């Protein structure tokens, strides 16, 4: 949205419009869903003025009111489904990872969480007829897990038909059997994955704000951002806030971070995929003692919760633990050199 349109809001002059845009409030909708305190702190505007601006933006953007279930159903038709390229897992998820939702994948070390984020960074770039969303990826790396070499492996692991279609779509001469053509295709895929390494929890929160700016910049481009991967969501929070005395502060910051991510999903029709660490519950005498960390804050914020569990060899059990409209269930996949594959 051009800055001069923001000036149509009461109390917003050129200087205030500049402040709003600089701090990520670039549209009526992004202003409408902000809180007066948040806007006051980030854009250096008085809280009373911020409240007036937000109320005017809500009227202009027509948000905050009630609507019929039929209207909600119509809007949900805009939601995209990102395929895992594994039928059993896609069926478990009702078609794949949803945009405008947070999907949490948790499991112990080596269960394949980072493999999922890498695979989705590839799959999201495919067209809808091949299970993708025709978009780019933002990858927030908090555990030094991102490896472009792994992306290379996973692209080469795609079906030859998909690779040939991608070469034609991206105007790359040659065939998948030609190494120069494949190298060019892999570079084209990597160009649409925007990676940032988070050094601590505060930096990770800042990167979520930067991700919103990047998604806004690419919104009208050929490759809009269609997935944000955070691997892992909780590592820095877990390391920096130790003990019960700091639990409340940790959960408060984590809650804000999750809401920042969810706002990206809502504003830009983007899927949010986060990985989470686990802990062993010493009170559990029966069944699997593994439980996701992050507490109720993360449990409530995640629309879909998925638990990855090691099995024999390269097999992994994918369990849907929680979803608003789907039954719990399990599927099996393999983590191989070529990426995630069906059993």
d(CA 135, CA 75): 20
Annotated binding site for ATP: 107-114
User: Residue 91: in which H helix or E strand, if any?
Assistant: helix 87-92
Q: For strands 97-98 and 81-82, give the pairing.
A: antiparallel
Orientation angle between helical segments 47-61 and 36-43, nearest 10 degrees: 120
CA distances to 161, 174, 190, 337 from 166, rounded to whole Å, are 9, 11, 13, 21
Contacts of 166 (CB under 8 A, 6+ apart): 126, 158, 172, 185
Q: What number of other Cβ atoms are within 10 A of residue 318's Cβ?
A: 25
- 125, 135 Cβ separation under 8 angstroms: yes
C-alpha 293 chain-centroid distance: 18
Contact by Cβ (8 Å): 31, 53: yes
What is the rounded distance in angstroms from the CA atom of residue 343 to the CA atom of residue 330? Answer: 13
Are 328 and 319 a contacting pair, CB within 8 Å? yes
Tokens at 343, concatenated: 């059993």
Which of 57-95 are b and which e, b meaning 16 or more Cβ less than 10 Å from the residue's Cβ? bbebeeeeeeeeeeeeeeeeeeebbbbbbbeebbebbee
Residue 8 in tokens: 């149509």
Residue 298's closest CA among 241, 255, 256, 242? 255
Among 115, 107, 110, residue whose Cα is nearest residue 84: 115
Binding residues: 107-114
């Amino acid at each position: 949205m051009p800055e001069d349109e923001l000036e149509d809001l009461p109390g917003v002059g050129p200087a205030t419009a500049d402040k709003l845009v600089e701090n990520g409030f670039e549209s009526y909708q992004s202003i409408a869903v902000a809180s007066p305190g948040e806007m006051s702190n980030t854009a250096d505007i008085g809280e009373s003025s911020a409240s007036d601006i937000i109320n005017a933006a809500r009227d202009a953007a027509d948000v905050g009111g009630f609507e019929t279930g039929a209207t909600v159903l119509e809007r949900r038709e805009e939601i995209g489904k990102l395929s895992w390229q594994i039928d059993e897992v896609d069926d478990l998820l009702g078609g794949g990872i949803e945009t405008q939702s947070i999907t949490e994948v948790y499991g112990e070390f080596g269960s394949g969480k980072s493999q999922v984020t890498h695979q989705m960074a590839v799959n999201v770039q495919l067209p809808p007829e091949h299970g993708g969303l025709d978009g780019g990826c933002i990858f927030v790396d908090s555990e030094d897990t991102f490896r472009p070499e792994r992306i290379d492996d996973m692209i080469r692991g795609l079906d030859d038909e998909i690779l040939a279609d991608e070469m034609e779509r991206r105007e790359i001469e040659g065939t998948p059997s030609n190494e120069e053509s494949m190298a060019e295709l892999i570079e084209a895929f990597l160009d649409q994955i925007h990676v940032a390494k988070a050094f601590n929890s505060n930096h990770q929160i800042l990167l979520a704000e930067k991700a919103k700016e990047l998604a806004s910049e690419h919104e009208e481009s050929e490759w809009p951002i269609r997935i944000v991967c955070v691997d892992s969501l909780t590592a820095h929070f877990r390391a920096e806030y130790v003990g019960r005395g700091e639990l409340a502060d940790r959960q408060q910051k984590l809650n804000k971070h999750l809401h920042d991510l969810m706002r990206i999903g809502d504003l830009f029709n983007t899927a949010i995929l986060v990985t989470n660490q686990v802990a062993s519950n010493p009170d559990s005498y029966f069944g699997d003692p593994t439980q996701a960390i992050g507490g109720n804050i993360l449990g409530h914020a995640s629309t879909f919760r998925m638990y990855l569990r090691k099995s024999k060899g390269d097999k992994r059990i994918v369990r849907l633990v929680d979803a608003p409209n789907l039954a719990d269930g399990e599927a099996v996949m393999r983590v191989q050199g070529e990426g995630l594959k069906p059993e």
